[in-house]
Amino acid sequence: MVFNDYNNDSVKRLAQKFDVVVIGGGPAGSAAARTLASLGRSVCVIDKSKFPRQKLCGGLVTTRAKTNFETVFERDWRSDLFVSSDSVWFFQGEKKLHDKPTPDRGPPLFFTMRFDFDSYLLGLAKEAGAVVFENLTVKGIDTRSKKVVAHNGNEIGYDFLIGCDGVNSIVAKTLFGTSFDQKTIGFGLEVEVPRDHLPNHNDIPEVDFGSANWGYGWTFPKAKSFTLGVGGVHRLNPNLKQRLSEYLSLSRNELDIADYKVRGHFIPFGDYREKPGNECVLLCGDAAGYVDPITGEGIGHAILSGYCAARAIEEALDEKHFDALPRYLELVKPITKSLHQANLFRWMIFPKPIQAPFAWAFTDAGTLRSGYLEILAGHHEYDHLYGLFLVQVRKAVKKLGRKLIGR
């Protein structure tokens, strides 16, 4: 059931109380709502937009996200929503870091327009019985009386609340006073470029380690366009629009930023919340900071965290108590472990003193590039890279020795 215009019947519905209210209808919110509705719980989703809606995002969907989707939504993968690639190009500015795509065939990467993908997921939540309120802005949350107050004055009661409302989460602001830390937050700028503007590009995505401080640039293929963007730690990139302009004007792109609409968005950059909520309020996806700081992986973590929140709340409801946070923290450990490891590995990639030797070693590091792709695709976790780094260090030492002897 979906409400958009809030006539008398919907106002009456808004006055009711639900077992669970989910704020945000993206992948995390849809996963949580579908899971709870499938278990027979009364659940509603509130979103400020009417779906389908535009969503700023590179649109990378990993093998991890595919697995999470098929498990949580109990549906086969819809290939028509995606462009896929089993290889990637790595760059450091104008310099291509290898002679052929890495690898010849590897785990697939998927790319989607969130306009279509998110609407599809929310439709699956509706199908399971979740009530959805679109075009409804949350004005405030009263955690004492357990009510969500809408912009039109209506109140919706809950036993549990799930915040899936993105990096600017009103749920996080209500609990912690701020939705993110200005010192660690990332920021990205993107443009959508029609395919005929890049006739020499194919469906192989590109990652450019030289396009931002503590970040990277990307070119991701979509069905009708390419998404080109740059992103990094916000406070270290005060000139990010200039960096995007430079990335667009590289010889392989030859684009003028003035020809495109530039959109920007904050990006959680590995600074996830160790306590993502309280007893009866849980944060998921971007609202909890569950975004990989190296690969930008967010959708897979969003789906899994939404599902974990739903399972933790279902157990609490079954046991007739109102503290779902401890169980939620147990269930999301695979996410937080991966993010913790990513935060360590990025010190080997992003610091300025590291970039030149990293690019030099990465040029001949076929094994390491393949490992990075497997991480990017969600095919492996970061512990897989430890051994690859040791192998590559040995190769780099031998390479350096040959270079010195050659002199």
Number of helical H runs and strand E runs in the chain: 12, 18
The greatest distance separating any two alpha carbons of the chain, rounded to the nearest whole angstrom, comes to: 83
Look-up of token digits 């899994």: 304
Q: Is 236 exposed, middle or buried (0-12, 13-18, 19+ CB in 10 A)?
A: middle
Structure letter (DSSP) for residue 209: T
Tracing tokens 């007893």 back to the chain, one arrives at: 279
- Can you read off the two tokens belonging to residue 316? 């609490």
For the whole prediction, is pTM greater than 0.85? yes
Q: Are 299 and 27 in contact (CB under 8 A)?
A: yes
Q: What are phi and psi of 178, to 5 degrees?
A: -150, 150
Domains with residue ranges and CATH for the chain: 2-73+114-181+271-341 (3.50.50.60), 96-106+182-267 (3.30.9.10), 352-406 (no CATH)
Spatial separation of the C-alpha atoms in residues 358 and 46, rounded to whole Å? 45
C-alpha 255/C-alpha 186 separation (Å) is 25
- Alpha-carbon gap, residue 310 to 331, rounded angstroms: 10
Residues whose CB falls within 8 Å of the CB of residue 262, separated by 6 or more in sequence, listed in order: 189, 190, 191, 241, 244
Contacts of 277 (CB under 8 A, 6+ apart): 163, 175, 283, 288, 325, 328
DSSP assigned state of 196: G
Alpha-carbon separation of residue 319 from 18, 309, 312 (angstroms): 18, 15, 11
- Within 10 angstroms of residue 98's Cβ, the number of other Cβ atoms is 17
For 46, the 3-state DSSP assignment is strand
Q: Which of 270, 288, 286 is nearest to 325 (CA)?
A: 288
The tens place of each residue's pLDDT in the chain, 407 residues long, gives 544 544 444 545 555 899 999 999 999 999 999 999 999 999 999 999 988 877 767 788 888 888 899 999 998 888 888 899 888 888 988 988 877 776 556 678 889 888 889 999 999 999 999 999 999 999 999 999 999 999 988 899 999 999 999 999 999 999 999 999 989 999 999 999 999 999 989 899 999 988 999 999 999 999 899 999 999 999 999 999 999 999 999 999 999 999 999 999 999 988 899 999 999 999 999 999 999 888 888 999 999 999 999 999 999 999 999 999 999 999 999 999 989 988 888 887 788 887 776 666 666 656 666 666 677 666 667 776 666 565 555 655 555 556 556 55
Among 278, 305, 325, 268, residue whose Cα is nearest residue 176: 278
Query: Cis peptide before 194, with omega less than 30 degrees from 0?
Result: no
